[in-house]
């Protein structure tokens, strides 16, 4: 059984995190450019750092800085097509980095019980509630299943690596992904049955040990998000490029 991760800093409501994720998706399609991407990434990093995720923020900063330096250095060089393809993928990842930051932070900082309690307070439909509950509980279980498969394959002399994907693609897919997909299907069925057995779809009012309410930190973040969206939209309406 995994140990719950505790972090220092402000705690945010799940509704705030979902609003940040939606806002990040909107903002990345409004503008473009290195400075604009840096601005959005910095805003997202400030949020997760305020929640205590300093190491994760440093990793994102390092990835962003390295990707920008490499891209600006080799953009005018005559290099191999495969290298250009890798640079293109890295640029796409960097553009969607704000969404990746918020999405991963939301999953890692929100327990399944808190997510279910928040979604119940939002009065979602039962089918949607069960589906989201299964998704939140599925990711940690899949991670554990992947580590077990990887450990079993290492004992047979086959490890999941880039070298094996290139030189032994058939064996790698057969020994890793096929068992994983079968396990994911079984895990999804078991989690769905578990949610129904616990009465998640029962037509009664649910109680929870979690206190679901907006705090001052949530109001500050949501106000800042609305302000940034309005500012960017106004700049675009005035005809300025971002």
Q: For 149-166, what is each residue's pLDDT tens digit? A: 888 777 777 777 777 777
Tell me the domain boundaries of the chain.
14-110+213-237, 123-197
Half-sphere exposure of 108 toward its Cβ, with a 13 Å CA cutoff? 15
CA distance 223 to 216: 11
Query: Confidence class of residue 2 from pLDDT cuts 50, 70 and 90?
Result: very low
pLDDT at 208 over 70: no
Q: What is the DSSP string of 153-179?
A: HHHTT----HHHHHH-HHHHIIIIIHH
Token representation of residue 219: 């109001």
Q: Are 33 and 103 in contact (CB under 8 A)?
A: no
- State what percent of residues in the chain have pLDDT above 70: 82
Distance of CA 237 to the CA centre of its chain: 31
**Average pLDDT of span 177-203:** 72
pLDDT for position 158: 74
Contact criterion met (CB below 8 Å) for 24 and 40:
yes
The span from the CA of 191 to the CA of 90, in Å, is 35
Whole-number Å distance between alpha carbons of 166 and 214: 49
Q: What is the pLDDT of residue 101?
A: 94
Q: Which whole-number Å values give the CA distances from 193 to 120, 129, 130, 189, in the listed order?
A: 18, 13, 10, 6
C-alpha to C-alpha distance for 161 and 147, rounded to whole angstroms: 14
Phi, psi (rounded to 5 degrees) for 158: -125, 115
With 90 as the cut, is the pLDDT of residue 184 above it?
A: no
pLDDT beyond 90 at 84? no
Computed on alpha carbons and rounded to an integer, the radius of gyration of the chain in Å comes to: 21
φ, ψ at 82 (rounded to 5°): -65, -40
On the question of pLDDT at 6 being above 60, the answer is no
């Amino acid at each position: 059984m995994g140990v719950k991760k505790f972090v220092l800093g402000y705690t945010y409501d799940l509704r705030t995190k979902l609003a940040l994720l939606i806002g990040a998706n909107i903002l990345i399609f409004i503008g473009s450019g290195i400075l604009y991407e840096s601005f959005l990434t910095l805003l997202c990093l400030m949020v997760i750092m305020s929640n205590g995720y300093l190491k994760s923020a440093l990793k994102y900063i390092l990835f962003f800085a390295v990707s920008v330096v490499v891209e600006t250095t080799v953009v005018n060089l005559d290099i191999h097509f495969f290298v250009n393809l890798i640079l293109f993928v890295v640029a796409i990842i960097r553009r969607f980095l704000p969404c990746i930051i918020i999405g991963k932070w939301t999953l890692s900082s929100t327990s399944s019980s808190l997510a279910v309690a928040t979604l119940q307070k939002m009065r979602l439909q039962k089918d949607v509630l069960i589906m989201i509950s299964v998704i939140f509980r599925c990711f940690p279980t899949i991670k554990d299943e992947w580590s077990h498969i990887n450990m079993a394959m290492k004992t047979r002399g086959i490890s999941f690596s880039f070298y094996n994907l290139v030189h032994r693609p058939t064996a790698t897919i057969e020994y890793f992904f096929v068992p994983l997909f079968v396990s994911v299907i079984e895990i999804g069925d078991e989690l769905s049955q578990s949610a129904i057995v616990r009465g998640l779809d029962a037509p009664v009012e649910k109680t929870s040990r979690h206190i679901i309410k907006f705090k001052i930190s949530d109001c500050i973040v949501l106000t800042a998000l609305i302000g940034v969206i309005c500012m960017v939209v106004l700049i675009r309406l005035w005809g300025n490029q971002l």
